[in-house]
Structure 1
């Protein structure tokens, strides 16, 4: 988004989704900030009675890497990859996004740590040049079991766009892959390893986890606290996992895999984040706890797109339509206000006077929210 003078904007005849109600009316923007919300106006851009919701705030998307490395050993120009990713993000109603950069590599990818830093540089260049539709930050996905995790973290932690770090360990037999059968299906489907190759791979992953996970969690957590980087756990499965997260000073519980872990996270005051695809598909692809079940138990605070950008918007409307006790306003908070607060963005995430004018204009067709227009700071980007 090119730097321009942000003038006045009036939107009227809209169903405006506020934090606690849906208001049929209009709003006024001046200088990229909401200055008034009220009754329908005789002037302004007529939204024909469609919905107007806050711009979505995305904390965990793995989507950028698929543009840069769409096939094994295939690389796309990093600037082009960022632009393509940004366009899809914005068209999905996301106006603030934390792009996941992989920290600590293993054998399931051929993307190097240096290439991850190149991608981070392309994000920064796009932001500096003002040519990105959404506002981009960086989320460091720290695979703490990987031998190179700490070195990779040290090489990028000072980037000013780094806003969030998550601590994850995908070794088999625990967390996301407590089921070894699910682990086998996932990795053999992804890598085409034979049974013998998978057995050797599993043994290496477990040995690396034992050698590195504990110390990397402690060291990275301390450095994040020192630099004001928000911390998240990942795939907690047990109360002990949650207690470890609390001891390390983490704030967000990403993708808890069991009801036990979600309940413990709520009791500990962690914000519980689940994936939109889990909601849309009706369950986890790894056989873990359903995000919809957590929503029904009031154990869901934040929805992320994970690997499908549009799933944030789709899942929010799905929950509002299908889960008792979840109004549209509450469902939209899961993709706007709640993630903004968890990441420390206090100027956005809801339609309220004084907040940033980040909006999505949409209507529902055949049960699907269709994005028509997106504004960031009062400037149209879609």
Structure 2
């Protein structure tokens, strides 16, 4: 629903004051166009806010910023032998995002030597579709380029996309060794081949070619890191395992550790003052589904700066509430992991918080006695992008539906 002015009142909001301090407040929040106009005591004068949202009994929280999510791949290729167009897939993804409270999303575009779903044609299609739907999407869609280090032939494309300003977040991925090992299993090889949209023999040829060019990988990594620094693109290393891996990336200016796999890598990242991204699904599952570090343990020890949806969008909303319910941190602290911290890392200072002049990205949440959450509404750039309880809306003037 596209409205020029909106007044949210009756709720308990997590707001940030002029000094950058975050506190709970019962003041009303008025928006104007895409921004927060004021945070003040509720007024009976609704002339400037023809649409009023009654947030009574709800928490009003900053819209979430997902720094790493690749669940959109399932809209593109829901089954091995199926593939749907990017316009349909991204439109559906947009609806999923706002229906889960995510107002800014970095799509994990994996660019790999494998081809297929993670090949050149698919990558270009995603880049173009994200740009094409920018004016009509409810969430703010951005690109997180997950570059496979052994994709030598992809270097020129990646450099071009970085210099064109199409990449918001960059990650160095090193999946080839694990893929090579798992490809010895027929069922795994079949799955990889299906994703790459080729037969197993073709896939093995691609794998072998990538392995034979391993000596060029250090140059590729250094070249991409330099390009990102020049353009101001934040960088992460993916699934660090050792001290030397994290330190090597640190020397290249890669200051984010994304899903570190071992305690050694996690401690190294913290010792270097890096930002650490962990998975929100990991929290809901009570640990990693693939034997990696538990996010709960990282949060408990103060070694987690951000939570990402990874492969499951709903986890972003529910993980902070579980962390708070377990007593590992306060809800305000947990919410920083899904809003303020990732926004700051991405250089998006206008969001991730509720404050005067900020972008009007907010969600309204009902919390049960058991500490579980239900999303009631999502406001994205001042627009009501999702509402599960229309009776809470009081409209005194006609409105236009969002495109």
Distance 2:177 2:327 in 1: 33
Higher RCO (C-alpha under 8 Å, 6+ residues apart): 2
Summarize the Cα distance change of 1:376–1:312 in structure 2 as closer, same or farther, 3 Å threshold.
same
Q: Secondary structure at the match of 1:166?
A: strand
**How far did residue 203 of structure 1 move?**
8.0
Alignment partners' CA distance in 2, 1:341 and 1:302: 10
1:125 aligns with 2:127: no
1:94 deviation in Å? 0.7
**TM-score, length basis structure 2:** 0.83
Q: TM-score, normalised by structure 1?
A: 0.87
8 Å Cα contact 1:147-1:208 kept in structure 2: no
Unaligned runs of 5+ in 1: none
2:166 equivalent in structure 1: 161
RMSD: 3.0
The residue matched to 2:96 in structure 1 has which SS? helix
1:143 and 2:148 are equivalent in the alignment: yes
Quote how far apart the aligned CAs of 1:172 are: 3.0
Match of 1:27 in 2: 29
The more displaced of 306-315 and 40-49 is 40-49
Q: For 2:159 and 2:54, locate their aligned partners in 1 and report how far apart those are by CA, in whole Å.
A: 50
Q: 2:289 matched to which residue of 1?
A: 285
The answer for the alignment partner of 1:241 in structure 2 is: 245
Aligned-pair CA distance for 1:148? 2.5
- C-alpha distance after superposition, 1:296-333 (max 9, x if no partner): 11000000001101111111111111133x10100001
Q: Within 1, Cα distance between the matches of 2:160 and 2:110?
A: 12
Q: In the superposition, relative to structure 1, how do residues 358 and 276 fare at CA in structure 2: closer, same or farther (>3 Å)?
A: same
Contact 1:104–1:150 (Cα < 8 Å) also in 2:
no
**Equivalent residue, structure 2, for 1:12:** 9
Q: 1:339 to 1:106 in 2, by over 3 A?
A: same
Distance 1:282 1:185, change over 3 A: farther
Task: List gaps (5 residues or longer) in structure 2.
Answer: 17-21, 47-51, 195-199, 387-403
Partner of 1:62: 70
Aligned structure 1 segments of 4 or more residues deviating by more than 6 angstroms: 180-186, 200-203
Q: CA deviation at 1:191?
A: 4.2
- Structure 1 or 2, whichever has the larger Rg, is 2
SS in 2 for 1:246: helix
CA distance in 2, matches of 1:214, 1:137: 27
- For the Cα contact (< 8 Å) 2:107–2:143, is it kept in 1? yes
Residues 149 and 362 of structure 1: CA distance in aligned 2, closer, same or farther (over 3 Å) = same
Distance 1:208 1:259 in 2: 31
Kindly tell me the number of residue pairs found equivalent between the two proteins. Answer: 368
Contact 1:317 / 1:369 at 8 angstroms: preserved in 2? Answer: yes
State the 1:151 CA deviation. 3.3
